[in-house]
Each structure stands twice: as structure tokens, then as C-alpha cells.
Amino acid sequence: MSDSFLNKRTALVTGGTSGIGLAIASALGAAGARVAINGLGTPEQIDTAISKINKSGAAEARYYDADLRDAIAIEAMLQEVNAWSPVDVLVNCAGVQHTAPIAEMPVERWDALIAINLSAAFHTLRLSLPGMAERGFGRVINIASVHGLVASINKSPYVASKFGLIGLSKVAALEYASAGSRASGGITVNCVCPGWVETPLIEPQIAAKTNDLSIDRDAGIRELLREKQPSGRMSLPEEIAELVVWLCRPAAHNLTGTAIPVDGGWTTQ
């Protein structure tokens, strides 16, 4: 999709400095949006991300620093972004993970995961949705996870936060469903729920399978996914980004309150 239908629109993407978030920010830029990103990274990594978004065709790209564990910092970030240009498209993609049995889960890790994966989205929604409603157009896409639909052991805070994110999104979708019109675009709130996605973070797991079993990379991926993802294929970040962009289109004005799995049949089983 190469048309600039988001021209004169502004997007904020948390977790936008790498991986799925950067792919989404770049795709929104390619659709003509101004793009604000927030996320972790060295100054060099942030500069590289901004450069990639600008090269995609974005009207402009800027980085905004905020600790997503801190509600006051999130409020300050939204004030800065809205002073630059009011947010029309909000993508909550920032997320962290920590695995351990419930009895061994460090309390501070639970608190951090809930804050970043769930509470931060609540704060960005509450600060963005009223302005979207006033203008008659808004798109919120929360990047949840297959683990917002099904559980796995040793992932209690991650699963809890992603289930919560889907629930939060459904409430917001209902509260703003009647805002705007077909002509203005309306307000929609949806979740995208990826299964396995081929990012640099996954590469060590792929390499371990290929080395342990002396098989090629594709076979290693199929083995890694065998128990969970029936397709045997990972999604690419760019494929998740294309779905996010489609949800921003005028034709998606009546698609709201959904949790869309992109999981190769994982949750169908």
C-alpha cells in the first residue's frame, strides 16, 4: 500500500525504535503520516530509527523520550506530541517480558510488566481519545499478543497484561464507537495479536534449534513453532505493520473492539 491516505495525520508509536514498532512507524510514514516514536535505544539506534521512518516517506518523524512506567512522564510526552501535532493514530507497541513460575516471579518484574504493557496504554488512551473524538477521527491499535488470547506457563505478568490490554481496548471501543461519522472516519480501537514474529530477538532461538538438530534455518523455524503455530511460518514485522495500516483506512471505520490474531492457527486449535 503506497498511497498517502494518512497525509496531514499524526501517529504516535510506542516501542517504535526497533522490531515490530519500527516497522509500524515506517509503514505509517509510507502512508504519509507525521510519526512520533517513543522507545528504548542508544542515541545512534534512535537516529537510525528516525532516519528509516523519514526515508519511508513520512511527512516528518520525531523521537519523544518518556519512561512508560511513569504516568507523569507519559502525560508530559503526550503534551509535547500534541503541541507538535495532535495524535490521530495511536499505536501502543511497547512491551517487555520476563519468564518465571508465579511463585518465583520477582515482584518488581510483575510491576514493571503491568506498567509498561498495560498501564501505559491506559494513559495514552485516556490522553488521546478525547481529542480524536473532537476531531471525528481516530485510530488506536494496541499490539497485544497471542498471549492475550491463550496462556503459557511461566509468563504470568505478560499474559495478564495482554489479556488486560484486550479488555481495555474493548471498553474504549464501546465508549467511542459513536464518535465521528463515516465521512469523518470515526474512532476505532483494536488489538493485533501476533504469534511468532521474525525479529532479531528470536534469532538466537532459531540458531539454537538449527545447531542442536543439525538442520537448515527453515527447518529450525518449523521445529521451533511445531508445538504452537500450525503454519510453521513466522510473520514478518512488516506484515504486522501492513495490518495496522489497513486498520487506519477509512474503510475500517466499523471495525472496532476486535482482537485480531496473526498466529498461523495457534488460537484456532
Residues serving a catalytic function are 158
- Classify strands 89-92 and 60-63 as parallel, antiparallel or unpaired: unpaired
Strands (DSSP E) found in 26-162: 34-38, 60-63, 89-92, 137-143
**Residue of 263, 188, 235, 237 lying closest to 27 (CA atoms):** 237
Orientation angle between helical segments 203-213 and 217-225, nearest 10 degrees: 100
Measured in degrees and rounded to the nearest 5, phi and psi for residue 100 equal -175, 150
Choose among 249, 260, 123: nearest CA to 190.
260
Give burial (CB, 10 Å; 0-12/13-18/19+) of 71: middle
Query: 3-state SS of the chain: helix, strand, coil percent to 5?
Result: 50, 15, 35
